[in-house]
Structures are given as C-alpha cells and as structure tokens.
Structure 1
Amino acid sequence: MRDPAGSGPTDHGRGSSDFRAERIGLLSISLGTAGLGGAWQSATAGLGAPLWVSDALFAVSGLVWAVLLVQYIRHGGWRWRNVLDDLHHPGQGFTLAYIPIVGMLAAGHLSRFGLDAARWGYAAFAAAAAIIAARLLAHWVTGGLAAAPLHPGYLLPVVSAPFISSATASTLRLPEVAAATFAVGVLYWLAFGTVILGGLVANGGGMPRPARPTLTVLVIPPATGGLAWTAAHQGTFDVVGQGFAGLLLFTLLVVAFLLPDLRQQSFHYGYWVFSFPVAAGANFLIRWLHGTDVAGWRALSWILLTAVSMAFTVLYGATLWHARRRRIIASA
C-alpha cells in the first residue's frame, strides 16, 4: 500500500477506506478557499476590490475539489456501499457534505456567466446536500452516534449546508427555495446546536485533542445564517441581520478564549478546519460593516480582509511544506 499522501493506489479494504477519508477531509482546503473567494467577492461589491482575486480563488478551489473527488471515486467512492460506510463514520462522516457545499458556492459565484446553467448546477448540489444531511440524520437518530463524542462538525451538513443553500438560492433569484432552506437551517441549528453545546458542557472538556479544532465550526452557523438572511433582503441589515451579527461576534469571543485549548502538537492537514469558519466570518463581517455603516468601515474591512488573506497564505505555505515533507519521508 502506498502512503495516502502519494498518488499511487492503495489496496482494498481498510486502506482504501482510510485513503477516501483523507481525500474527503482534504476538501476542507477547497471549502476554505471558496470561502475566502466569497469574502473577496463581498469586498468587490462593497470596497471595489478586484474581482479577479475572487475568480482566482474559486478556480483554485474548483481544481482542488475536482482532483480530490476523482481520487475519492477511483478508490471505491463510486460504490454506494462504500459511500454509506464513509457517511456513517462516527468521526468523519459529516465531511462528505464538503462536496455539495463547495459545488453550491461555485454555482453562486459563476452565475454571472450563465444564470440557467448555474441554477441547474445548484439544483444538483443542493439535492446532494439534502440527501447527505437526511441520511446522516436518519443514521444519527437511530443510534449512529451513540458511541461517538459530539462535536460541532456535525452542524456542517444539517445547519451550515442549508444556510449556504439559502444564500446561493437568493443569488440565483430563487426566493422560495431560499426561504425553504433557510427554515431547515434554523430548525436544525436550534435542535442540534443545543444538543451539541449541551453535550460539550456536560462532557467537561473530554473531547479528544485532534477533534478540538472542530470547535471553531461554531462560528459557521451564525456567519452563514447571517449571509443567507442578508442575501434574501438585498444586503439590508434589519433587526434579524443585526441579531446574526451579535451571535457571530459573541461566538468569535468564545472561540478566542478557546484558542489555547485548540493548539496541536505539530502542523497537519486538519488545520484547514479553521479556514472556512474564518473566511465565512470575515465575509459576513465585511457585509455587516458596510451595511451598518460603522465608522471607518472601509478601513476596517480592508484590515480584516488583508489579515485573513495573509493567514491563508501562511496556511497554503505550511500545507505545501507538510506535503513535501511527507513525500520525502515516504520515499526514504
């Protein structure tokens, strides 16, 4: 069996399952990059930032998405039985939602090149996201998570995906779909968010250290929910929009206090779990600063966007260095 970081085939069975899990987990790179592209797109509308930066980021996201998805399919991802096994994995099953989420984000971004084509692409990815979320929920409510520690990653397919679907539907001028998917996100945020947060408190910090970075996923629901709401209301920040802003700012404060507990012993690809929460939070805050007309909003928005972009640059560099180091070790 070749090292999972390489490009050669693995053997069947557990090796292929591990390889597929790693490929899907690495889609967090694509998701985070698309999220940063969305933040730059918001800056294009509000700050006059160059659109080519957003286009370039979405191109990189799409390339990573396509390469990893092809590798996943080649190593057994075309079999429904393997997909179900991967989906039911107690720790990583939720990551399959990365596939349609990135697709929906790309459909919204590319809609200016052809609305009808973007709508068809969105419909396919939104349906896939709904199937993944429904299958996960059916598995969870029948005891599929009984032996697994709860963590906020489980919010991604059942809360964040519907909110992203809603925001994209508004971009594609599908208000009825936007309202329907927004309602799904709100319901399951209230339901699962309460259970997961209560479980974390009751567990008393017993979450395994490798899983602790998923605590940053707590940022995604208020960020994507706020983006969905404001997209449906033409960027206007009404009482509900301000409420999402308050939730996001408070959650960011909580995560800031959690940072000492999120430290890892060394760099690994799992650091990319931080990327989409950071990008989505920055995207919403840029829209909020503009929509609320905060004093100095233009300078604050550029400072925020620059800081986030620099953090991503460091993360890209560390990822390339880590991949090169793994290849050297594997070939030694």
Structure 2
Amino acid sequence: MHALSRFGIPLGLAGLGGGWSAARSYLGAPLWPEEILYATATAMWLVLTATYVFRGLRRKGTFRSDLKHEVAGPFASFVPLVGILLSSHYSQYLPPWGSWVCGAFIAALAIVAAQLLAHWVTAGVSMQSIHPGYLLPAVAGSFVASIGFSIIHAHDAAIATFGVGMFFWLLVGTVVTVRLMTGGELTPAAKPGLTAYLAAPAAANIAWMVSHPGPMGAVQLGLTGVLAIMTLLQVMLLAEYRKLRFTPAFWVFTFPVGATTNYAIRWLAATSLPGREVYAWTILGLATAFTLAIAARTAASRGSRTQRDKSHTVNEGG
C-alpha cells in the first residue's frame, strides 16, 4: 500500500463526520459521533503527515517522485484534501484562524492539482495507467474546496471553485471513461477507485447546496440525477467488488459513501417525502456500520500480518 493512499483513512473518517454533521443539523443527532470521527481523522492525518514528511526529509525529492507515480500520483491530493475537511469543520470553534487555515489548505490543494495536471499534459502518464482516482485532485478536490469556501463564508470563491470542478469533471472524466471503456480491465488493486465516480457527484451536490441554501433549483436537481445514476452504477459493480481480496486500500470506498450519506440527509430534509427521517437515519446507520466494518477488517488484517511476521522471525531464529 503506497504511503499516499493511506490518507484515504482520515479522508473516509472525515467524510462520515460530515454525514453526522448533517444529521445533527437536520435530524437532531448528538454532537459526539461527529466530533469523535473528526478527532480520530485529525489524529490519523497528523501521524500520517508527520511520517510522510519525515520520510521525505530523509530522501530528497520524495514528494516530487510520488507526484509522478502513475498509479499513486493522484493520491497526493489527499493530504491537503483532508486538511480542508478538518479545518473547515474546526473553523466554527477557532474563528478567524480556522478560516485562514482552511484557505491555506485550499491553496495547497490548488498547487498540488496544478503540478499533477502539468505532469499529465506533458505526456507524463500512459493511457493504460490512468484509473478513476485521477478524478480526485481537480474534480472532487475542487468541489470539496468549494464546500470549504462556503463554510468560511467566501461565497464568490466557492462559486469560482465549483466552476473549476465542473470543467475538470467534463475533461478528466471523459479521459478516464474512455480509458476504462477501451483500455482493458483494471487491475484488482485499482478497482476500488471506481468509487470516484460516486465521490465527484456527491461532493458536487453538497457544494452547490451549501452555496445555494433554500429551495432546490434546476442545477441542484440535475446534479441529484447524476448522483442517483452513479449510485446505481455502484450497485451494479458490487459483484466486481465482492471478488476483490480485502486490503487497507478498501478505505477508498468510505469517503464516497460518507459524502453520499451527507447529501442524502440534506436532500431528504429538503423534500416532503413521507418517512424521510427514517430513511435518513437508515442511510446514516448503514454508512457508519460500513466504515466501522472497514476499520475492523483493517485492524484484523494488520494484527494477522504482525502475527505472521513474529512467527516468521521465531522460525528463522529457530
């Protein structure tokens, strides 16, 4: 598992934290699940960032090399992406410092995304190596940045950043889809990245809703339709996902699930659908159970690997 892909863990926890935040606002959910998720995500992000930076200090050019990695390169955006989610959440407790920190992480994400794009457009990657994770930096990342700007009350910047996300959604999304349709089957390790097709519309819907509070207009309804069909796509892909051997890379599933849950709660609250609160709580419960299951499987697999390593060491010593 590449070091950058490990940032999918705090990203997924923060994504679910956003779902519980929406539940607190619209369903009267308690505060503690949201804060536990964000605190855990913060601790994980700090540890992973410190470890990654320390490794980079020991090996000059590590980050530049990782950016150019054909498979893991897009995951470089996870570092500032998680920072945006965390700082925008804590900005409510630390004004105005939280807003400045959030803005700094958005700027960092823009720099990382621009570096990645510059590498890609100069023939830095082969068509065969492209995977759905390429949607994350400039597409889902831009929508998350738009959400961050809305939370810190920078409305004009939120709209501008949303436009950036829409542009690259069309551009990069077309390239990724063409590769998937014509370039052969993805490797098993890359298949969890197909959930990026869900992350992009989920983040886009949240971004537009928080920047345009009130009755849903045509843009919101159109984006909701895209999210609905992308959710159905994920249902159709369940058979493929079930064939995969579990690895910590499965954390890539958790952020799209958390973001979709976040929007589903907001959308249901804006409708007059009978039983909408029951549906919202059910969706939130399933998303929470799913993330906890991934965490439990990760801990179990890590424990098994540690035990195997100890047994191997003992056998060698014997």
Q: TM-score over 0.5 for the alignment?
A: yes
The code of the aligned residue for 2:262 comes to: N
1:244-283 to 2 correspondences below 5 Å: 244-283=223-262
Partner residue of 1:104? 84
Describe the superposition over 1:241-294 as per-residue Cα deviations: whole angstroms up to 9, x where unpaired.
111111111001111111212234432101111111111111111111111232
Q: Does the Cα contact within 8 Å between 1:237 and 1:292 map onto a contact in 2?
A: no
Displacement, 1:115? 2.5
Partner residue of 1:238? 217
Could you tell me how far apart the structure 2 residues matched to 1:179 and 1:210 are?
35
Instruction: State which drifts further: 168-177 or 30-39.
Output: 168-177
The code of the aligned residue for 1:75 comes to: R
TM-score (norm 1): 0.90
Q: Does the Cα contact within 8 Å between 2:127 and 2:179 map onto a contact in 1?
A: no
Tell whether 2:295 aligns with 1:331. Answer: no
Which consecutive segments of 4 or more residues in structure 1 shift more than 4 A?
77-80
SS in 1 for 2:122: helix
Partner residue of 1:51? 31
Tell whether 2:12 aligns with 1:42. Answer: no
Q: Does the Cα contact within 8 Å between 1:44 and 1:51 map onto a contact in 2?
A: yes
Instruction: State which drifts further: 267-276 or 71-80.
Output: 71-80
Q: Taking structure 1 as reference, are residues 246 and 80 closer, same or farther at Cα in structure 2, changes over 3 Å only?
A: farther
Instruction: State which drifts further: 276-285 or 141-150.
Output: 141-150
Tell whether 2:181 aligns with 1:201. Answer: yes
Q: Taking structure 1 as reference, are residues 229 and 129 closer, same or farther at Cα in structure 2, changes over 3 Å only?
A: same
Could you tell me how far apart the structure 2 residues matched to 1:39 and 1:284 are?
8
Displacement, 1:77? 5.3
Q: Does the Cα contact within 8 Å between 1:210 and 1:264 map onto a contact in 2?
A: no
Instruction: State which drifts further: 45-54 or 109-118.
Output: 109-118
SS in 2 for 1:115: coil
Q: Does the Cα contact within 8 Å between 1:163 and 1:224 map onto a contact in 2?
A: yes
Partner residue of 1:210? 189
Partner residue of 1:219? 198
Tell whether 2:188 aligns with 1:190. Answer: no
The equivalent position to 2:272 in structure 1, one of 293, 296, 317, is 293
Q: Does the Cα contact within 8 Å between 1:162 and 1:185 map onto a contact in 2?
A: yes
Q: Taking structure 1 as reference, are residues 197 and 134 closer, same or farther at Cα in structure 2, changes over 3 Å only?
A: same
Partner residue of 1:3? none
Describe the superposition over 1:90-128 as per-residue Cα deviations: whole angstroms up to 9, x where unpaired.
000111111111110111111211231111111111111
Describe the superposition over 1:149-207 as per-residue Cα deviations: whole angstroms up to 9, x where unpaired.
32110010010111000011101100111011111101000111111112211224x21
Partner residue of 1:74? 54
Q: Taking structure 1 as reference, are residues 72 and 148 closer, same or farther at Cα in structure 2, changes over 3 Å only?
A: farther
Displacement, 1:74? 1.6
The code of the aligned residue for 1:196 comes to: V
Displacement, 1:23? 2.8
The equivalent position to 1:306 in structure 2, one of 272, 285, 298, is 285
Partner residue of 1:61? 41
Q: Taking structure 1 as reference, are residues 287 and 322 closer, same or farther at Cα in structure 2, changes over 3 Å only?
A: same
Could you tell me how far apart the structure 2 residues matched to 1:235 and 1:289 are?
13
What percent identity do the matched residue pairs reach?
Answer: 36
Could you tell me how far apart the structure 1 residues matched to 2:29 and 2:241 are?
33
- List alignment gaps of at least 5 residues for structure 2: 312-318
The code of the aligned residue for 1:271 comes to: F
SS in 2 for 1:292: coil
The code of the aligned residue for 2:203 comes to: T
Q: Taking structure 1 as reference, are residues 292 and 80 closer, same or farther at Cα in structure 2, changes over 3 Å only?
A: farther
TM-score (norm 2): 0.94
Could you tell me how far apart the structure 2 residues matched to 1:244 and 1:142 are?
32
Partner residue of 1:12? none
Count of residues paired in the alignment:
311
The equivalent position to 1:90 in structure 2, one of 45, 51, 70, is 70
- List alignment gaps of at least 5 residues for structure 1: 1-20
Instruction: State which drifts further: 241-250 or 260-269.
Output: 260-269
